[in-house]
Amino acid sequence: MIKKIDNLGRVVIPKGYRVMLGIKPGDPLDVEVDSGRLTIQPHTDGCTFCGARGALSAFMNKNVCRECLARLRATPEI
Ligand SMILES: [Zn+2]
């Protein structure tokens, strides 16, 4: 699908895609550039420590990725 960007930098996300992803007006979106591609996806909170997304565990209402969780477990008590 080819879309044109307007003078203010806006692009309309087709309704079918918005419905498919559950995106509603006012929802926060994550916009990123990765290897020359622009990605737009529904916002998700990443790991509290490193910002990684994907498989996250909840610890005291904070998201923590597996790598940071392993680092926390390996950290000796002060
Ligand atoms: Zn992390």
Closest-CA residue to 23 (of 47, 42, 48): 42
Query: How many angstroms separate the alpha carbon of residue 6 from the centre of ligand 1?
Result: 37
Mean pLDDT by 10 residues, the chain (78 residues): 95 94 93 92 90 88 93 88
The values of phi and psi at residue 4, to 5°, are: -105, 140
**By three-state DSSP, how is residue 57 classified?**
strand
Q: Please report which residue ranges of the chain form alpha helices under DSSP H.
A: 15-21, 66-74
Positive or negative torsion for Cα 38, 40, 25, 17: positive
pLDDT for 13 equals 94
Query: How many angstroms separate the alpha carbon of residue 13 from the centre of ligand 1?
Result: 30
- For residues 60 and 72, what is the distance between their CA atoms, to the nearest angstrom? 14
Question: Would you kindly state where each structural domain of the chain is located, as residue ranges?
Answer: 28-74
Overall pTM surpassing 0.75 (yes/no)? no
